Amino acid sequence: MSPQTPIAALTVTAADLDAIAEAEGRVAVCVGKDGKLDPAARRVNRLTKGALARMIESGALEKAKSGDVKTLAWPAGMKAEAVDVLCVERGAKPVEARKAGAALGKVKGMGPMLILAGAVRRAEDLALGAVLRAYTFSARKTAEVDEMQGITVQVAKPEEVSAASVSAVAEGVFFTRDLVSEPANHLTTTEFAKRIKDMEALGLKVKIMEEAELEKLGMGCLLSVGHGSISPSKVAVMEWMGGAKGEAPLALVGKGVVFDTGGISLKPAGGMEDMTMDMGGAGVVAGALRTLALRKAKANVVGLVGLVENMPSDRATRPGDVVTSMKGDTVEVINTDAEGRLVLADVMWYAQETYKPRAMIDLATLTGAIIVGLGHENAGVFSNDDDLSRAFLKASEAEGEGAWRMPMGQAYDDMIKSNIADMKNVGGRDAGSITAAQFLLRFVQDGVPWMHLDIAGVASVKADTAYAPKGASGWGVMALNRLVADMLEG
Ligand code: BES
Ligand code: MN
Ligand code: ZN
């Protein structure tokens, strides 16, 4: 019942020119702008009786950019069905190599692919890009989907390219994409919790808290969101304590609204189906912890996600209701569609009370306004701590996952003052993403470095992105993984 998209099996080998003629499926050669052929490309050229050189001499690559692919179909002299000529410089930087590899992942059919990357220095990044881009979500199709077959990469120094670390990253990203892609009738709060619980097999400690317990803890904000739904609200807690004993963990907190109808403040019908991705923050937290566990990170990290469904019903929260948070502050619910901040407020408070984290990062598909501001290229970064946000921006840039810092301040906080409660849950149309962040900041304890990532624009995109076909991107898993490596393992 929990289908998981497998990553294309990745094999790393030393250069082996004699394997080229017999390789089935697709064979990819890497050529820089100078058009020079490396030994593997020269072998392909010889086998194809000069076809590769003719292609290059024809000027086919002259206007090519890094990551462009030109295909020679059904080449004579080889078993392969196609030779893909990838334009990539041997000294390509990591993100560039990754994006070039992704171009191969895009052309990859269901057969195997042999990538001749001996000349490329960042071959591991190239391989990761190919694996990430070869993703398809097919769990909800009944038509037979061919098994995705393996990717073999021939490299100059096999000891420097780790298939295991590529797989650890890709599996975390795929886990997130699967969760984000799943429709809400399949990925209920219960099913989501189960998939998280299943990660105990990887050595994570997982706790699922049910409504009765959340009630006892006083999570009135979170519970008010799930009230209208038949699906029970839950909080899932994942612990990866691979670091020093007793050292305060980094806390990752995710919004897991499995479907957001808006509640009584119902959303319009057009496009509402997209709200199946409103658990994207929780999806990234779960995927990041999966990657950390798979690579046995030497760091203490906890992931906490609030799993709820926002539905209208006779039990649903009404506009105007006042609810009480676990912190004790009261919130006037002006608009039941501003539900993500209510969920996060209680989970963030619980995370701080329970773990006294050294830093806290929350992720959420929180506002449509962030899409108006930043589109689908960058997530919004909000923080009370320059060091934390700078470290994250550096990590996200290194991974090729866009992020942009946004301002905060007292004047924005003033916009969520309520007449009858401690605050209201919306601040009006202006600066909608910032007032949402200000709401969250009210639930950050003194001295806790905190960062909020509004991923509404990047979690699922209607066009192909650098590393993913259209749909769920898995944005953030790689950046968080690197941040953990830089900040906690460095
Ligand atoms: N889940 C939405 C935000 C969203 C919008 C995510 C589009 C992904 C794509 C969130 O719960 C929401 O409804 N926000 C409202 C807030 C408003 C009522 C203050 C919004 O952005 O319109
Ligand atoms: Mn909403
Ligand atoms: Zn929402």
Q: Would residue 341 show up in a list of annotated catalytic residues for this protein?
A: yes
Residue 1: the pLDDT is 43
46: pLDDT confidence band, cut at 50, 70 and 90?
A: very high
Residue 256 Cβ inside 6 Å of ligand 1? The answer reads: no
User: Any residues with CB less than 8 A from the CB of 22 and at least 6 apart, and which?
Assistant: 79
Q: Which ligand is nearest to the CA of 257?
A: 3
CA 268 to centroid of ligand 1, rounded, Å = 12
> Residue 307, SS3?
strand
d(CA 36, CA 184): 51
Task: Find the 427 Cα to ligand 2 centroid distance in Å.
Answer: 14
**How confident is the model over 390-438, as pLDDT tens digits?**
999 999 999 999 999 999 999 999 999 999 999 999 999 999 999 999 9
Query: Is the beta carbon of 260 within 6 A of some atom in ligand 1?
Result: yes
Whether ligand 1 lies within 6 angstroms of the CB of 454 is answered as no
With a 6 Å cutoff on the Cβ, whether 346 touches ligand 1 is: no
Percent of the chain residues past pLDDT 70, beyond the cut: 99
Q: Is any atom of ligand 1 closer than 6 Å to the C-beta of 148? A: no
What is the residue whose two structure tokens read 């979170």?
A: 222
Question: Of residues 93, 106, 267, 442, which has the active-site annotation?
Answer: 267
Distance CA(134)–CA(353), nearest Å, equals 41
CA of 86 to the centre of ligand 1 (A): 40
Pocket probe mutation, ligand 1, options 284, 344, 367, 423, max atoms within 8 Å of Cβ: 367
Give the distance (Å) from ligand 1 centre to CA of residue 139: 27
Tell me the average pLDDT across 200-212: 98
**C-alpha–C-alpha distance, residues 486 and 490, integer Å:** 5
With tokens 């003194």, the residue in question is 446
CA of 366 to the centre of ligand 1 (A): 6
Q: At what angle do helices 123-133 and 163-181 cross, to 10 degrees?
A: 30
Mean pLDDT of the region 451-459? 99
pLDDT at 145 over 90: no
Contact 103, 125 (CB under 8 A): no
Six token digits for residue 22 = 């017999």
How far apart are the C-alpha atoms of 377 and 314, rounded to whole Å? Answer: 39
Q: What is the CATH number of domain 168-488?
A: 3.40.630.10
Q: Can you tell me which atom of ligand 1 is nearest the CA of 265?
A: 18
Band of the pLDDT at 147, cuts 50, 70, 90?
Answer: low
d(CA 409, CA 324): 24
Q: Compute CA 137 distance to the chain's CA centroid, rounded to the nearest angstrom.
A: 15
CATH number of 10-161: 3.40.220.10
- Report whether residue 362 contacts ligand 1, using a CB cutoff of 6 Å: no
Domain boundaries, the chain: 10-161, 168-488
